[in-house]
Amino acid sequence: MYIVHFVENKHIILSQYRKNKPILNEEIRIKGRKGKIKNIQEQENRIVYVEVEFEKKKKRR
């Protein structure tokens, strides 16, 4: 089991306790926003920091 912190622009978006680690370039959806995993950093035994790049929000008129 891993503690996974999803990060965008040095801000933690979501923390989860997961059975498996995410994969690089995996498509992911967090809080209704689509994104892609850009970087994974593993610290200590079970702590993983995952850098996510979200799609730009479309402006509605």
Residue 50 has pLDDT above 90, yes or no: yes
| CA neighbours closer than 13 Å in the CB half-sphere of residue 32 | 1
| Per-residue model confidence as pLDDT tens digits over 5-46 | 999 999 999 999 999 989 999 999 998 889 999 999 999 889
Task: Give the residues across from 8 on adjacent strands.
Answer: 11
Residue 55 has pLDDT above 80, yes or no: yes
Q: Looking at residue 58, what is its pLDDT? A: 77
Cβ proximity of 37 and 23 under 8 Å: yes
